[in-house]
């Protein structure tokens, strides 16, 4: 990614744009597949974000548990084994839940559409 590119630049592979966003999710916060898709210019591609995260690089995998579905439910496709493992990783970061596998989005949501500038170049790593 060069300084002249931006988050929605189609010359950057979709997966690389997704990985760049996931690397920026702060500890103790979560975002959704759909919010990532919208931020990288693929608004209706939440499932593709999930696909990208299924086989992601290790440095992204270490943060991918911070991505949940649109209502805050854990939906890691068993990437961490049982969903309780994903819940444990989130609880270790101080994330609270409103039921067994649903994150309190009102308290912990990080929205890249509000936190990042789509016109700025994504970090290279």
Residue 32 parent element (H or E): strand 31-32
CA-based Rg of the chain, rounded to a whole angstrom? 14
Dihedral sign from CA coordinates of 73, 78, 83, 87: negative
Residue 122 lies in a domain: no
Residue 5 lies in a domain: no
- DSSP 8-state symbol, 95: -
- Collect all residues with Cβ–Cβ distance below 8 Å to 81 and sequence separation of at least 6: none
Dihedral sign from CA coordinates of 112, 76, 73, 47: positive
Q: pLDDT digit string (tens) for 110-123?
A: 999 999 988 877 77
Residue 33 lies in a domain: yes
Total number of domains in the chain: 1
What predicted TM-score, i.e. pTM, was given to this entire model?
Answer: 0.90
Residue 3 lies in a domain: no
Q: pLDDT digit string (tens) for 61-112?
A: 999 999 999 999 998 666 667 889 999 999 999 999 999 999 999 999 999 9
């Amino acid at each position: 990614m060069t300084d002249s590119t931006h988050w929605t630049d189609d010359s950057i592979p979709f997966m690389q744009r997704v990985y760049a966003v996931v690397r920026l999710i702060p500890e103790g916060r979560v975002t959704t597949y759909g919010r990532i898709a919208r931020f990288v210019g693929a608004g209706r591609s939440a499932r593709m974000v999930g696909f990208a995260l299924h086989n992601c690089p290790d440095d992204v995998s270490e943060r991918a548990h911070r991505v949940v579905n649109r209502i805050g439910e854990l939906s890691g496709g068993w990437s961490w084994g049982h969903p309780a493992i994903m819940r444990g990783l989130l609880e270790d970061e101080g994330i609270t839940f409103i039921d067994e596998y649903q994150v309190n989005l009102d308290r912990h949501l990080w929205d890249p559409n509000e936190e990042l500038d789509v016109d700025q170049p994504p970090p290279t790593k």
